[in-house]
Structure 1
Amino acid sequence: MVEAARASHNSPFGMPGITGDYARAVPSDLDLLDLRVIRALADTGSVTAAAARLGYSQPAVTQRLRRAEAQLGQPLVLRSTRGVTLTEAGRRLAQHAVHVQAALDAARQELDELAGTTTGTLRLAGFPSASPTLVPALLSTLHDRQPGLTVSYVEVEPPEGLDLLRSGSIDLALTFSYPGDGRGQAPTSTATTPDVVVETPLYRDTMLAVAPAGSFAGSGAALATLSGARFIGGCPRCRGHLLAACRRAGFEPDIVLETDNALAVTGLVAAGLGVAVLPSLSLVSAGLPDGVESRPLDGDDDRVVHVAHASGAERVPAVRVAVEALASLDPARFGLRPLRPDVSTRG
C-alpha cells in the first residue's frame, strides 16, 4: 500500500485530490489555475483576452504560462504578432481542463448532497424555440425540487451552445439536430476529441409545412404542393434543412425572406408573403394565426431535441438533477414525442 501510494505521488501524471482517468492525464506540478489559463488561451487566442476572461492581469497570466511551461519542460503556446496558438501539448491540456473542472464540480456538489440538498449554480443554454417552452418548464421543476440551486440561462443556437460547453462556460445545453447532419438518435460525441461533449437525444419534433389556408388542397405531399411558392428561411442550419427537404421533394425553393422569429414567420405567411417549414415546438408559443394552416412533412424529416453536457459532468449533482427534471417533463405538452435511443454507447 505504501509503495503504491509513493508510486502515485511520484508519477508525473498524478494529481492530489483527483482520482481516475482525469488524474492520470494531468501532470502533478500543474494546478487548476494553470489549466484554466491554458483553457482560456485556447478559447480566446490571446493573453490579453484570456486575462480579461479570468479576471487577472496580463502579467499574471503570462507568469502562470511561463511557470507551467518551465515545469513541463515544453512549450504550450506559439506566440506571434496576432496572438497565441496552442502547441499539441497545450491543446491536450486544454481538452483535459474541461474534464478536471467537471470532476472538481462533482466532488464539491456531492459533498453538498451529503447535507441533503443540491446547491450551487447551473449554467444552462438553449435554442430559441426552447426558450418559451421547455426552458420555463425545466426551471420551474428545478425550483420546486431544488430551491437551493441557482440557474442562469442564455439563448443560443446549438453550434454556439456546444462551443460554450467545450469552453466550460456553461454546464448544460438544449440542442437539436436534423436528419442527415451526422448526429443520430443515440448519445454521441460532438467534438473531434472523443467524449469532450456528449449529446443525448430526448424528443422528436415534427417538422411542419406552414402556408395560407387552402394551399394543401389535394392528396399530394405537403412540401411538393408548395413547389411554386415563395419561401421564408430561418437560421443557417434551418435553411440547410429547408433546402434538403425541398430537394428531396423534387424542387429548389425560392427563398425570398429570412427570419429566426417563428412569430414573424407565421405573420408573414398570414400576410400572403411566403410559406415556411417550422418545427412543432415553435408553434406551441407562436401559434397559427387565422388563415394559416400546417401539414407534417412526409418521410422521416423530424428534428431531434438533445440535452448536452461535458463528458463526466453527469456526475455533477446539479447537472444530474437538471437532466432528470428535463426527462420528467411531459413531451406531449410541447408537441413533442419521446425518443428512446436503442444504442447507449458514445459516438
Structure 2
Amino acid sequence: MAVNAPDYRLDVTELRIVRAISDAGSLTAAATALGYSQPAVSQQIKRLEHRLGVPVVERVGRRMRLTEAGRVIARHAAAVATAIDAASGELAQLAGLRAGTVRMVGFPSASPTVLPRLMDRLASAEPGLTLTYVEAEPPEAIADVRADRADIALTFGYPGDRSDPHGDNARGLDAELIGHDELLAVLPAHHRAARGRGPIDIAPLAGESWIAGCPRCRGHLLEVCGRAGFVPSIRFETDNFVAVEQLVAQGIGVATLPGLAVASFPLLPGVVTRPLPSSERRAIHAVSAGGAGRVPAVASVLGHLRSVVAGLTGGTAREN
C-alpha cells in the first residue's frame, strides 16, 4: 500500500493557529483569540499533522503544548505575519487608508512623558488609528517585538552598557536611534555641587551616600562612578522616581536620574538637578520587526514617536 510523502507546505491560517496555541496554551483559548470554533481549530491541526507526518501539539496534564515541529512553525509565524501585514499595509496606503491597531511597549519613564503626547498627536492626526501600550524594561520590550506581542518597543541603552539590549537581543529587528536623554545628578538644594547650571563632574561626589534606581540605572551608576575612579556607597535602591527625590530632599543621599524621569512629575522642593556630561546620555531607540515600518499604521506611529521624543529631550535640567 502506497504511503503519501509528507507535504511541508504551510498556509497562513495554519501559521496563525499554531502561533495562537503557542501563546494561549490550549486549543480552546487559541480558538477564542482567533474568533474560530474549537472544533474548527482541532480539525485544522489534525489535517496539518496528517500532511506533515509528525505531531504538532501534545497534551501534558491539562495543558496543550507544541511539539518540536510545532515550535519550529511558531518561531517563523511572527515574521510571516509581519510580512503579510506589511503587504496589506502597502495596499491600504495605495488606497489612501491609514487605520488599524498598533501595539507599543515602553520603559516606565516614557509612560507619563512620551505616551500622553504621542496619544494627543495621534488623536488629532490619525483618528482611525488605535494605539495600545504596555510598560516594560528594554530587554522585555524587545522580546515582546520578537515574539509578535508588540509592534514597537520604545527602549533605551546607556553608553558602555555591557548588557545593551540593542545588541544580540535585537538582531534581525529594526532598531532606530530616535533621541538622547540627559543623565542628571539629583542633589539637595544646599549641596555645593548644586550651584551653577552647566554639566558637573561626578568625581567630587565620591564621598556621598547614593540612592540607586532601577537595575539598569544602578548598573550604569556603577559604570559612571567606576570611570571617575570610585565605587559609590549605595545606601538605598528604589525604582520609584518620586522616592528617589524624597530621599534626596531629606539629605539622605544623592542620585542620578534620566531627564525623562525627572520630567515626569514636578521637581520636589529642596531638590536641584544638574546635567552630567553629554557622553553619559542614554540613547533612546524605537525597535520594530524587520519590515514593520512598511505597514502604514506602524510607520505613522514611528513618525509621531520620533517627533515627540525629539521635543522632550532638548533640555531637562531644572531647579526650584
Paired residue secondary structure (2:96): coil
Q: What is the alpha-carbon distance in structure 2 between the residues aligned to residue 49 and residue 270 of structure 1? A: 54
Residues 175-214 of structure 1: pairs in structure 2 closer than 5 A: 175-181=155-161, 190-191=169-170, 194-195=171-172, 197-213=173-189, 214=191
Letter in 2 for 1:160: E
Question: Paired residue for 1:292, among 271, 283, 286?
Answer: 271
Please give the per-residue CA displacement for 1:259-285, whole angstroms capped at 9, x wherever unaligned. Answer: 222222212211222221111121222
RMSD of aligned C-alpha atoms? 3.4
Distance (Å, rounded) in 2 between the aligned partners of 1:285 and 1:155: 15
Structure 2: how far apart are the matches of 1:174 and 1:106? 20
May I ask how many residue pairs the two structures share in their alignment?
A: 305
Which whole-Å CA distance do the structure 1 matches of 2:38 and 2:217 have between them? 41
The change in CA–CA distance for 1:188 and 1:200 in structure 2 (over 3 A counts) is farther
Matching residue of 1:262? 241
Pairing of 1:41-120 with structure 2 (within 5 A): 41-43=21-23, 46-47=25-26, 51=30, 54=33, 64-76=44-56, 84=65, 86-87=67-68, 89-120=69-100
Shift of 1:199: 1.5
Aligned residue runs from structure 1 range 224-239, under 5 A? 224-239=203-218
- CA offsets per residue over residues 275-314 of structure 1, 9 Å max, x none? 2111112122224323222233347221100001111111
Distance, in Å, in 2 between the alignment partners of 1:132 and 1:121 is: 21
Question: How much identity, in percent, do the aligned residues show?
Answer: 46
Q: Which residue of 1 aligns with 2:3?
A: none
**Structure 2 residue matching 1:190: 3-state secondary structure:** helix
Aligned to 1:19: none
Residues 163-186 of structure 1 show CA distances to partners (whole Å, capped at 9, x for unaligned) of 22122122112111112336889x
**Distance 1:168-1:257 versus aligned 2 partners, 3 A rule:** same
Superposed, 1:144-159 pairs within 5 Å as 144-159=124-139
Paired residue for 1:133?
113
Deviations 1:51-90, CA, capped at 9 Å, x for gaps: 3883678776665444433322345567756974652x54
Query: Which consecutive unaligned segments of at least 5 residues does structure 1 have?
Result: 1-11, 13-26, 338-347
The Cα of 1:218 is off from its aligned counterpart by: 9.3
Q: Does 1:160 align with 2:150?
A: no
Could you tell me how far apart the structure 2 residues matched to 1:202 and 1:189 are? 19
Deviations 1:3-33 (A, max 9, x none): xxxxxxxxx7xxxxxxxxxxxxxx53x2333
8 Å contact kept, 2:181–2:313: no
Is the CA contact 2:98–2:126 (under 8 Å) kept in the aligned structure 1? yes
> Are the aligned partners of 1:51 and 1:57 in contact in 2 as well (CA < 8 Å)?
no
The equivalent residue for 2:122 is: 142
CA gap of 1:281–1:218, structure 2 versus 1, over 3 A, is: closer
Change in CA separation of 1:299 and 1:104 when aligned onto 2, cut-off 3 Å = closer
In the other structure, the counterpart of 2:4 is none
Choose 67-76 or 243-252, whichever is displaced more: 67-76
Normalising by structure 2, what TM-score?
Answer: 0.80
Q: Which amino acid aligns with 1:122?
A: V
Q: Which of 3, 6, 19 matches 1:39?
A: 19
**2:114, 2:309 within 8 Å by CA — same for their partners in 1?**
no
Q: Does 1:249 align with 2:225?
A: no
Where does structure 2 lack aligned partners over 5 or more consecutive residues?
A: 1-6
Letter in structure 2 aligned against 1:149:
L
168, 193, 214: which one aligns with 1:216: 193
Q: Does 1:283 align with 2:262?
A: yes
Q: Structure 1 224/41 Cα, relative in aligned 2: closer, same or farther at 3 Å?
A: farther
Cα distance change of structure 1 residues 218 and 169 upon mapping to structure 2, 3 Å threshold = closer
Pair 1:91–1:198, CA change in 2 (3 A): farther
2:89 touches 2:294 (CA, 8 Å); kept in 1?
Answer: no
TM-score, normalization by structure 1: 0.74
CA shift, 1:47, in A, is 3.6
